[in-house]
Amino acid sequence: MIQKNNSGVMVYLILFIAGIMIVPMFSSCGKGEGVSSSNNNARLGVVNLSPDVLPFKLYGRYIVQGTNSYSYPFASSYTLINVADTPIQIRTAQTANNVNPTNLLTLTGGLLRNTPYTLFVMGLLKDNSLTSVLTVDTSSLPANGRGKIRLVNGITNVPSGINLTLNDTTAFRKVNFKGNTQFIEVTAGTYNINIVPNNNPTKPLTGLTNFTILDGKMYTIFSYGLSSSTSDSVSYGINTILNTLPPNTRY
């Protein structure tokens, strides 16, 4: 009788210990099914190319992302953003009369994890042409001794589109407002880069002198502005973004 009771106690004890071991296993499996924030990220750069938009902030899932404000006509560095934090919005950086920041744009669609992007905000508030261009900043590696470039056009008031020249050789032709080209390979080296109207290619709108394209690197060249006057705060301009991320970049 005593042996039977002891056997029963042992059975219950074994079941109790097994239960303690199994519960954490189920808990661990449950965590593994979801994707943790450490590997559910994309990288996003933001560029404000709208001359009449005040500095704005980036929102994801209706929550402000970081402390950065994005001002015309500057590009930010890449920052991490969780791809589950949708919708992505831009809202005014300042509140007025204790009213919540105004939503300026909402992006449709989402981001893919482990992927770098750049969000270009361009156009004008005053004529309701404010819009955005989202680029995927990946491409195959260029050949040895070569780099890659592409063009994003944020100039609204050149109806014929723009051309981009490298040392007087046309690299891109007739890129309209909001246009963004594919990456192309060019020989690594130092270039004078000019933006010209497609219908008047002898009259540069703006340019960069002695810009060096490095071997194996990828760049986005972006244009902006409304005026050919160099003294104007919204004069035409171009700048560049290095899209090549350091090796072993984490997401």
- The residues spanned by each domain of the chain are 39-138, 139-245
Query: Which pLDDT value is given to residue 49?
Result: 98
Please report which confidence band the pLDDT of residue 249 belongs to, taking 50, 70 and 90 as the band edges.
very high
Average pLDDT (165-193) is 98
Please report which confidence band the pLDDT of residue 187 belongs to, taking 50, 70 and 90 as the band edges.
very high
> Phi-psi bin for 37: left (phi > 0), alpha (psi -120 to 50), beta?
alpha
215-to-167, 190, 225 alpha-carbon distances in Å: 18, 11, 30
Please report which confidence band the pLDDT of residue 13 belongs to, taking 50, 70 and 90 as the band edges.
very low
The C-alpha R_g of the chain, in whole angstroms, comes to: 26
- pLDDT > 80? residue 96: no
- pLDDT > 80? residue 99: no
**How would you list the strands of the sheet with 237-242, edge to edge?**
184-187, 146-153, 218-224, 237-242
Please report which confidence band the pLDDT of residue 14 belongs to, taking 50, 70 and 90 as the band edges.
very low
Give the range among 32-36, 225-229, 231-235 with minimum mean pLDDT.
32-36
Average pLDDT (80-103) is 87
Topology, domain 39-138: Immunoglobulin-like (2.60.40)
Please report which confidence band the pLDDT of residue 228 belongs to, taking 50, 70 and 90 as the band edges.
confident
Cα separation, 237 vs 155, in Å, equals 9
Cα separation, 87 vs 110, in Å, equals 7
129 touches 50 (CB < 8 A) = no
Q: Which H or E run includes 29?
A: helix 2-33
Topology, domain 139-245: Immunoglobulin-like (2.60.40)
Domains 39-138 and 139-245 share a fold: yes
pLDDT tens digits for range 105-119: 999 889 999 999 999
130 touches 123 (CB < 8 A) = yes
pLDDT tens digits for range 16-57: 444 444 433 333 333 333 334 468 999 999 999 999 999 999
Q: State the first-to-last Cα distance of the chain, in angstroms, to the nearest integer.
A: 64
**Which of 178, 151, 147 lies closest to 165, judged by CA?**
151
